[in-house]
Amino acid sequence: MKNEVLRKATLEPLRCPISRLPLEWDESGQWVNVVGQPRRYPVKDGIPILVEHAAQTTDSTDVAASTR
- Per-residue three-class SS string for 4-67: HHHHHHHHCCCECCCCCCEEEECCCCCEEEECCCCEEEEEECCEECCCHHHCEECCHHHHHHHC
Domain count, the chain: 1
CATH of the domain at 59: 2.20.25.10
57 is in which domain, residue-wise? 2-66
- Residue-wise pLDDT tens digits, 1-48: 556 666 777 788 999 999 999 999 999 989 999 999 999 999 999 899
How sure is the predictor about 55, in pLDDT bands with cuts at 50, 70 and 90? very high
Could you tell me the pTM of the whole model?
Answer: 0.76
